[in-house]
Amino acid sequence: MQLNKIKPSAGSKQARRRVGRGIGSGLGKTAGRGHKGQKSRAGGFHKVGFEGGQMPLQRRLPKRGFKSAQRQFNGEVTLADLQRLGAEEVDLVTLKAAGLVRQLVRTVKVIKAGELQRKVVLKGIGATAGAKAAIEAAGGAVQAPAAA
């Protein structure tokens, strides 16, 4: 192989379409822009969703719902996750290391889903009423998260 002999594979490169170069090219005269109107003229274009002055679809439809920006900082862990984890003392760092919550998460809450037979002590992690009862029934404890 020689550097001066290297070529792109056949069919991988295609010449740029040259418009407005005579009738024989198939793209002469109007150059693929059709006849008249805003889109045919130089510099004549508009933003995405523009409908010629008619109220655009995204403004005709009603607004609905809400997505909190704080959602990415909140995490949930189930009782089944704690059972599988195997640690006796669980805090935010332990959960992040185990991959049970994302690295961005700042507050975690344990929810009552699954079963817990082991003693687990939660440090700085919240729990729902049902989850707290299940943890205490298994001999564990929930230490209240520090106030921010």
pLDDT at 39: 87
Q: Look at residue 76 and give its three-state secondary structure.
A: strand
Instruction: Report the chain's mean pLDDT, rounded to a whole number.
Output: 91
pLDDT at 52: 87
- pLDDT value at 46 more than 80: yes
Distances (CA, A) of 46 to 19, 28, 58: 22, 24, 16
Contacts of 83 (CB under 8 A, 6+ apart): 114, 115, 116, 117, 118
Domains of the chain: 71-143 (3.100.10.10)
pLDDT at 129: 94
Cβ–Cβ < 8 Å for 17, 33: no
* pLDDT average, residue stretch 34-52: 89
